[in-house]
Amino acid sequence: MNVGKDTETLIKKLIKGDEKAYMYLIETYYKKLFLYAYSISKSQVLAEDIVQNVFMRIWENRKQLKIKESFKSFLYKSVYNEFINNYRKQQSSISLDTVFFETINTLSDDISADDHRLALVHNEIENLPTKCKQVFLLSKQEGLTNQEISEHLNITVKAVENHITNAYNIIRGNLIGGDKIKKPSKK
C-alpha cells in the first residue's frame, strides 16, 4: 500500500522540520496510539512513555523518514516495537534482581559469617552515590516499579534502570571484585 498524497505532504513537512506538521501528527494520532499501547502494556504510565518515545524518535529522526507502507501502519509498528524494547529492558532488570537475590542468599548460607557479610552489603549500599542509592532503595527496599520511581523522582525510566544497574555493578565490584567477600564456590 502506498503512502497517500496528504501523508506524503506531511512527511515532507516533517523532514523539513515543520513544527506545525509535527503537532498535527501528535494531535491526530496520540489518542489512538495511546489506546493501542495501553491495550498491549496494560499500564497507563508505560503506554504514555511508549507513545511519547515514538513521537520523540520521529522528530529526532525526521530527516531519515522513509515510509513505504501507510503512515498509520508505520506508527502502530513503531509503538509495538517500542513496547517490545521496553519489555526486553524489563527482563534484563529482572535478571539483575535474580543475581542480586542469589548473591544475598549465598551470603546468608554461612550463618556464622552472615552478620558480617550482610553488614558489608549494607555498607556498600550506604556508600552508593546519592541518587543511585535513592533509586536502588526505592526499588529493592520499598518495592516500587521503575515507572513509579520515575514518577516519584521526576526522572526517566531509562535513568532509573541505569541507576539500578550501576548500583548492582558497584556493589558486586566492591564486594566480590574487592575480595571483601569471597566468590561463592560452585558445588
Q: Which CATH number is 110-177 given? A: 1.10.10.10
Q: Cell digits for 123?
A: 555498607
Q: Cell digits for 115?
A: 552478620
- Do 91 and 137 meet the contact criterion of CB atoms below 8 Å apart? no
- Identify the band that residue 155 occupies on the pLDDT scale cut at 50, 70 and 90: very high
How confident is the model at residue 183, as a pLDDT? Answer: 45
pLDDT at 160 over 80: yes
How confident is the model at residue 93, as a pLDDT? Answer: 61
Ranges for all domains in the chain classified under CATH 1.10.1740.10? 5-86
pLDDT at 165 over 80: yes
Q: Cell digits for 108?
A: 546468608
The string of pLDDT tens digits covering residues 37-63 is 888 888 888 889 999 999 998 898 888
pLDDT at 3 over 50: no
How confident is the model at residue 184, as a pLDDT? Answer: 45
- Do 51 and 79 meet the contact criterion of CB atoms below 8 Å apart? yes
Handedness of CA 30, 34, 35, 40 (dihedral sign): positive
How confident is the model at residue 187, as a pLDDT? Answer: 42
- Do 104 and 121 meet the contact criterion of CB atoms below 8 Å apart? yes
Ranges for all domains in the chain classified under CATH 1.10.10.10? 110-177
Domain 5-86 is of which CATH architecture?
Orthogonal Bundle (1.10)
Q: Output the pTM of the full model.
A: 0.47
**24 or 173: whose pLDDT is higher?**
24
Q: Worst-scoring range by mean pLDDT, 47-51, 54-58, 73-77, 115-119?
A: 115-119
pLDDT at 180 over 70: no
What is the distance of C-alpha 115 from the center of its chain? 34
